[in-house]
Amino acid sequence: METITHRIARILAALEPGADAGELEAWLERPAEPEHGDLSLPCFKLSKRLRRSPQAIAEDWAERLQDDAVAEARAVSGYLNLSMNRAWVAEQTLAALERQGEAYGSSDRGAGRTVVIDYSSPNIAKPFHIAHLRSTVIGQSLRRILSFSGYRCIGVNHLGDWGTQFGKLLTAYRHWGDEALVERDGIDELLRLYVRFHDEAEARPELEDEARGWFARLEQGDPEAAERWARFVEISLAHFNRVYERLGVSFDAYTGESFYNDKMPAVLEELRAKGLLEEDDGAQVVRLDDYGMPPALILKQDGSSLYPTRDIAAALYRKTHYAASRILYVTDYAQQLHFKQWFAVIERMGYPWASALEHVPFGRVSFGGEGLSTRKGNVVKLEEVLEQAVQKTEAIMRDKVRDSRARAEVARAVGVGAVIFHDLSRHRLHDVSFEWSQVLNFDGETGPYVQYTHARACRLLARASAAPQPDNPAAAGGALQLVDDSVVADGWTEQFNEDSLVVDGGVEQFDEDSLVAAGGAEHLTDDAAWPLVQALHRFPERVEQAERSLEPSVISKTLIELAQAFNRFYHHCPVLTEAPAVREARLRLVGATAQTLRTGLYLIGLEAPQSI
């Protein structure tokens, strides 16, 4: 479907040889005041080129512009103000939505291109930390947005399962490890051991040497080290997978840092052969003076590999193994220098595809104003956060939904959704402060609010398909009872008080196809429906914007706009009680909204229960 702005720009450009469609489209504004119409084109910039006054251009175009999409064109003080033909826009939008269904908003912009997305990537032997939640949910959302835009996406979990910290853990286990405790407490016990190592090493620095020794043994394949390490990995993965299951997140590969251990010698050989490796204070580095950066550390004095070394090996592998056109790395912005450095090493190695490597940074997460650090042990565990979110949601729903199984299922989708949405509701580079009162503020601009709005639209559709038509004489009496619950104010908790949340413990089902009847868009022109029509119309543009800027918050914001526009429509425009033609047209709009909300929720990784 061609967007309105694109269409208008194209038609105006055709009227005037000196005008350029792309330029006009960029200049089109959406005026804040309704009396200025839906779109406005300032003609000042054209004035010089066309040697006419802005007002003369606007007047000329207002007179000559003839298009189905435009109801009225006026020239006002050098602006060309356009009011859209609302029925036409509504019909185009609904027809596209009905034709494409869940593919509405998708595209083939990325066709034939493969993107590897490296996300989540937590560190073994440490509990899944709330900061890793950001990488996980941003990465998962990007994967969905990019797939929806035609790319082939490979989700990779670059587990932090290699490095000197394993030497520390092996040392700690040697001194204070108790298999029974590890068995019982799993990852929590591993964290205790790690924290204890740091405490003790302050007084006994020789422990650090011991740890380096153990990591060297691990890298050389020492059986005792390898076996214990494998156990740490197993315990950690069991824990991570529980979290992923809750979040509904998946990966195509769990190739962590250790996966590249046997690929390292070839990388070192290549660096050496290309004359890039230099000795610096006993360590091996690649100089990046030309880039104005400190050298990239490749090998430590003791010959052990480093985080950048493993990233270089991983990039070479991904480029060839997946034939990747782009490789994205979703981590916190504190790692910016690390990525810049080793991207530069790839460039110095002579690979033109260095430009395919993109760091997708995001802001820090703090919990109640405090920073997070593993060494001191004050980690906020995501598993606990999610559990609490679900429990709190279930408590809110306790009196509203009788059936406990249905309630638990919905509380899971809504509670987890609240946490994910909170994380994706702001621009990814902004820091987030994780405060319960905000995450679970279900009256605000939150995931539950959007999910609730979707369920509300579904409920309306279910009633419509179950209810007799008001023009059916046999049902004349019944129709009167089909009063919408549109009197309820916006806001999720209040809306929870509505009746018919769940009918007899079951979930109301509906068949959208049976409701769809083309035509009738002339009934969708009132002021309460128009913002909703426009929000639906713009959805594909918003997906494109999210894809180009690698920014899931574009989708979250769109969902809030859509939900707010729908709730205003719902409040002002009764549906089921209207005459058949109006009812059918409004139901089309409700069906289209439900579909678009569902798609948007999917794109940021939230479920869309039909009944809340």
CB of 317 to ligand ARG, least distance (A): 11
CB of 334 to ligand ARG, least distance (A): 9
What token pair was written down for 249? 């997140």
CB of 127 to ligand ARG, least distance (A): 12
CB of 57 to ligand ARG, least distance (A): 53
Beta carbon nearer to ligand ARG, 127 or 600: 127
Burial of 532 (0-12, 13-18, 19+ CB in 10 A): buried
Exposure string for 334-347, b = 16+ CB within 10 A, e = fewer: eeeebbbbbbbbbb
Nearest to 6 by CA among 76, 23, 548, 61: 23
CB of 268 to ligand ARG, least distance (A): 18
Beta carbon nearer to ligand ARG, 122 or 470: 122
Beta carbon nearer to ligand ARG, 315 or 573: 315
The residues with which 156 forms a beta bridge, in sequence order, are 118, 253
CB 421 within 8 A of CB 450: yes
Q: How many CB atoms lie within 10 A of CB 40?
A: 21
Angle at 526 between CA 522 and CA 532, to 5 degrees: 95
Nearest to 436 by CA among 398, 384, 492, 400: 384
Question: Which residue minimizes CB distance to ligand ARG?
Answer: 160
CB of 256 to ligand ARG, least distance (A): 8
Nearest to 121 by CA among 254, 8, 20: 254
Beta carbon nearer to ligand ARG, 153 or 502: 153
What token pair was written down for 568? 């205003």
Question: C-alpha dihedral over 598, 601, 605, 606, to 10 degrees?
Answer: -80
DSSP label at residue 526: S
CB of 123 to ligand ARG, least distance (A): 5
CB 219 within 8 A of CB 309: no
CB of 329 to ligand ARG, least distance (A): 5
Beta carbon nearer to ligand ARG, 255 or 610: 255
Write out the DSSP string of 587-611: HHHHHHHHHHHHHHHHHTT----S-
CB of 132 to ligand ARG, least distance (A): 6
User: SS in 3 state form for 394-449?
Assistant: HHHHCCCCCCHHHHHHHHHHHHHHHHHHHHHCCCCCCCEEECHHHHCCCCCCCHHH
Q: How many CB atoms lie within 10 A of CB 9?
A: 23
Single-letter amino acid code for the residue at 427: H
Beta carbon nearer to ligand ARG, 143 or 586: 143
Beta carbon nearer to ligand ARG, 118 or 547: 118
Beta carbon nearer to ligand ARG, 308 or 591: 308
CB of 292 to ligand ARG, least distance (A): 22
What token pair was written down for 378? 């004050």
CB of 315 to ligand ARG, least distance (A): 8
CB of 311 to ligand ARG, least distance (A): 5
Burial of 529 (0-12, 13-18, 19+ CB in 10 A): buried
Beta carbon nearer to ligand ARG, 243 or 482: 243
Query: Which residues are near ligand ARG by CB under 6 A?
Result: 118, 121-123, 158, 160, 311, 329, 331
CB 208 within 8 A of CB 171: no
CB 286 within 8 A of CB 196: no
Beta carbon nearer to ligand ARG, 118 or 551: 118
Q: How many CB atoms lie within 10 A of CB 51?
A: 10
Beta carbon nearer to ligand ARG, 312 or 532: 312
Q: How far apart are CA 563 and CA 558, in angstroms?
A: 8
Beta carbon nearer to ligand ARG, 21 or 372: 372
